Amino acid sequence: MREKVLLFSVLLLGLAVMAAAIVAFKVTGVSVSVSEPEFSGSCPHRFHFSGRITVNREGTVRYRWLRSDASSGPEETLVFPAAGTQTVSAYWELGAGMGRYPDRWMAIEIIAPNPRTSNRAMFDLTCIPRVVLPSYSISGRVDSGPEGNKLAGRQVKVVLHRGGAELLSRTITLDAQGRGSYSFGGPIVGAGHYVIDVEKLPYSGSSTLNVCYEGTAPVSRSLDLTAAAPHAADQNFTIAWVIGWDRPACW
């Protein structure tokens, strides 16, 4: 009797092992989500998709991405060392110029081990032209000539006028060669007529030379900025100066 019970137990164990061995490998779940269901702005725009694939045991899944424009991605494989869920990803970049792209979607098609298709991750795209505002600028240099090193450290003010009034100014400290650069731009500078001139600022440093400021060449610059010509570079000035041996301090 004991031998029969033992034999029966071994038989049941064998049947259980065989039953476990013949459980078919299959995908038990597949789903897709999109990063943003709706977007309105400049195009092209990229939508990102995340897929989740679940299986009941170890095995290899073959799948591909489907799109609403009737195209499909290449076949891909995903290896599962055991039952569980893995994540896959894809993106779709679309949109050119103005227009609306409603009811677009991506999904995952399981090719093997068992045919199955996920939900459709839906999204809408509205392309709006990017408005680029014109940018206006004026720039130039101030130079004090071949012996400009004698003016190093002195300061001048470049003044931008519009409509007869001072609009902006830049203070320039002349470098070791007696030179400096300036620029005007930003939202306050737009299309219109401008006049630029240069003024000397008081000098508080020490010097063995009595440098006398005589003005600039040219005295001023007049220019127009337009949508067709929004930038005016090389609006340069040269400082006229002398060494005032027989004058009181004059810078």
115 and 157 belong to one structural domain = no
Domains contained in the chain, number: 2
Last residue in a domain, options 88, 108, 127: 127
Q: Are 4 and 31 in contact (CB under 8 A)?
A: no
Asked if residue 218 and residue 149 are part of one domain, the reply reads yes
| Structural domain containing residue 64 | 26-127
pTM of the model: 0.52
pLDDT of 3 reads: 58
> What are the average pLDDT values for consecutive 10-residue runs of the chain, which has 251 residues?
51 49 90 96 94 98 97 96 97 88 97 98 92 89 95 96 96 96 94 97 83 96 96 97 87 87
pLDDT for position 131: 73
Nearest Cα neighbor of 173 from 158, 154, 160 is: 154
Q: Is residue 14 part of a domain?
A: no
Task: Report pLDDT digits (tens) over 50-109.
Answer: 999 999 999 999 999 999 999 999 999 999 999 999 999 999 999 877 789 999 999 999
Q: Is the dihedral of CA 226, 231, 233, 239 positive or negative?
A: positive
Last residue of a domain, one of 95, 127, 159: 127
CATH of the domain at 233: 2.60.40.10
- Position 50 in a domain: yes
Listed residues 127, 148, 179: the one ending a domain = 127
Whether residue 56 lies inside any domain: the answer is: yes
Question: Does residue 32 belong to any structural domain of this protein?
Answer: yes
- Confirm if 44 and 130 have CB atoms less than 8 A apart: no
Instruction: Report the 3 state secondary structure along 49-73.
Output: EEEEEEECCCEEEEEEEEECCCCEC
